[in-house]
Amino acid sequence: MNIAQCYRYFKMIVKMSPYDYLIHYHLLKSIDYLSDSTFNITEISEKVGFQNVNHYIQIFKKAYTLSPKKYQKNIKKGIYNNANSFSFFHLTISIQHK
C-alpha cells in the first residue's frame, strides 16, 4: 500500500486526516493536563508535543473557541463537570466545520 492509499483509507475510516487526528489526540491529552493545575501552559504544550507554545494556543483556540488559560480557569471554577466530554464535543464540531 502506498502513502496516498494509506491516507485515503485512514481518512475514510477515522473521518479525519492523519494530521487532524494527531492534533485531536494532542489537544485531548492537553485537556488532562489543563485539568491538573500543576502545569503551566508552556509546560503543557511541550508535554503534548507542540514545539511552539503560541502554535498550541492558536490551535487550541481554533478548536475550543477559548484559550487554554481560560479553559484552565473555567475548570478551576467548576464550569465543566466532565472535561473530556466537553473537549470531545467541541473538537469534533470544530474539525467538522473546517
Structural domains counted in the chain: 1
Report if residue 2 sits inside a domain.
Answer: no
Task: Count CB-CB contacts under 10 A for residue 26.
Answer: 17
pTM over 0.85: no
Measured CA to CA, the distance from residue 47 to residue 44 in angstroms comes to 5
Report if residue 36 sits inside a domain.
Answer: yes
Domain of residue 36, CATH code? 1.10.10.60
pLDDT tier, 43 (very low <50, low <70, confident <90, very high otherwise): very high
CB 23 within 8 A of CB 56: no
Q: Which three cell numbers stand for residue 19?
A: 494530521
- Residue 28: domain span: 17-96
What is the predicted pLDDT for the residue at 79? 74
80 vs 46 pLDDT, higher one:
46
Average pLDDT in the 25-32 region? 91
Report if residue 33 sits inside a domain.
Answer: yes
pLDDT digits (tens, 9 = 90+) for 50-84: 999 999 999 999 998 999 999 988 888 877 655 55
Report if residue 12 sits inside a domain.
Answer: no
Inform me whether the pLDDT recorded for 40 exceeds 80: yes
Report if residue 53 sits inside a domain.
Answer: yes
Report if residue 6 sits inside a domain.
Answer: no
DSSP structural state of residue 48: T
What is the predicted pLDDT for the residue at 90? 52
Measured CA to CA, the distance from residue 85 to residue 10 in angstroms comes to 24
Report if residue 67 sits inside a domain.
Answer: yes
Report if residue 77 sits inside a domain.
Answer: yes
